[in-house]
Amino acid sequence: MPAIARGRRGAPPPSLLQDTLLELYPPEVLTRLAEESGFIRRYRKIDPVAFFWAVTLEAGVYLQRSLDQLRHVYNQTTAKPIHSYASFYDRFTPELVEFLHLCVAHGLSQLKSAPGNRLSPKLAAFEDVLIQDSTIVRLSASLMTHFPATRSRNPAAGAKIATLVSVRANGPEHVELMPESVSERDTLKPGPWVKGSILLIDLGFYKHQAFARIAENGGLYLTRLQSPVNPTIVRSLRVHRGRTIDLEGKSWNEVRPKLHREVIDVEVEIAFSRRTYGGQRRGDTLSARLVAVWNEETPKYHTYLTNLGPEALSAEEVAELYGYRWEIELVFKELKSQYALDRVNTTNRSVAEALI
């Protein structure tokens, strides 16, 4: 096992980080993944274990982005040194990217199998609470063919990192790299993996068909209601004393200005169109729960859409749960501030993908 490289100032990695990484990535696992990806089939004279630790620790934790610095670190920890910069540079190939991608997938699967968090008693009946979001990493404009940007007036490149964070695992469960031009809605792909879990979904991913697919696969969703959407109220799920407005059969936009309740909890229906199939686009109806909680600071209702029943979470608890979406923002903030995720200065696609 090669020694873990020290940082720029000679300080070793924090013991907890080092111990965790060594446990997640023993040499035999790294060698197997390097073989599966084709990384060491193409370069037989390379040490995949030393290469992994050089790129992972030096390019991430210590923010060293010079490939020549990484080469020196690699040479210090292996019996198979790479003497020229050009030879080291040539190792940054699609096979290396696939090797590192398999390593990420392995690490996430190990963290998921040994969860670090327990859900509260209210949520213990669910498999997990998952948070979907993405962040953008600006790249050299020369990579715009592979990573076209959408939020820049000038020619630019941007990579979108779509991330699914697991509350139980206390970290990412799935990570996918794609061009910035890919719609966030297209990064949310509900399937059997959602069964029994609650997905906290940002407005950027708002799509009624996706919510229907989550429910069809046995999952739960919780999102903010998109402002142009005007659901029809089917019935009230909370009893209010005194003179109250009859909500049944009315639209949300119709009754919202007339309401003076701190909390609204109703069952609603929303008409939407399914994806085109066989040349035809079929209409459908989404039955859901609308929760609106008055916010004094704004002042306005914060409105949520979910298929969580009132027996599972009260309206106030629904609003509180959605607030935990902030956790994924903290993940992105840490990746950019502590690990220089947003500083990838290269014109080589494979170098950029490997470092990300």
**Is residue 136 assigned to a domain?**
no
Domain identity same for 201 and 86: no
- For position 280, what pLDDT does the model report? 67
**Is residue 139 assigned to a domain?**
no
Domain identity same for 62 and 193: no
Domain identity same for 94 and 193: no
Domain identity same for 74 and 208: no
Inter-CA distances, 16 with 21, 25, 280, Å: 9, 14, 55
* Residue 275 predicted with pLDDT over 80: no
Per-residue confidence at 65, pLDDT binned at 50, 70, 90? low
Phi and psi of 143, rounded to 5°?
-95, 10
At position 103, the amino acid (one-letter code) is C
Listed residues 114, 136, 162: the one ending a domain: 114
Domain identity same for 76 and 192: no
Domain identity same for 281 and 187: yes
| Cα 177 off chain centre by | 10
**Is residue 1 assigned to a domain?**
no
Domain identity same for 223 and 98: no
**Is residue 167 assigned to a domain?**
no
**Is residue 76 assigned to a domain?**
yes
DSSP 53: H
Listed residues 60, 95, 114: the one ending a domain: 114
CB 302 within 8 A of CB 308: no
Domain identity same for 210 and 323: yes
Domain identity same for 192 and 95: no
Q: Which domain holds residue 39?
A: 15-114
**Is residue 354 assigned to a domain?**
no
Higher pLDDT, 143 or 11: 143
Domain identity same for 191 and 290: yes
Give CA–CA dist 120/45, Å, rounded.
Answer: 51
Domain identity same for 299 and 198: yes
* Residue 212 predicted with pLDDT over 70: yes
Percent of the chain with pLDDT over 90: 46
- For position 302, what pLDDT does the model report? 93
Query: Which residues are CB-neighbours of 264 under 8 A, at least 6 positions away?
Result: 238, 290, 291, 292, 293, 301, 315
| Lookup: tokens for 156 | 């630019």
Domain identity same for 211 and 320: yes
User: 11-37 as b/e, with b when 16 or more CB fall inside 10 Å?
Assistant: eebeeeeeeebeebbeeebbeebbeeb
**Is residue 71 assigned to a domain?**
yes
**Is residue 78 assigned to a domain?**
yes
Task: Say how many domains are in the chain.
Answer: 2
pLDDT tens string 119-174: 888 898 999 999 988 899 989 999 999 999 886 677 789 999 988 888 887 778 88
For tokens 């696939």, the residue is 98
Q: Is 204 helix (H, G, I), strand (E, B) or coil?
A: helix
Per-residue confidence at 8, pLDDT binned at 50, 70, 90? very low
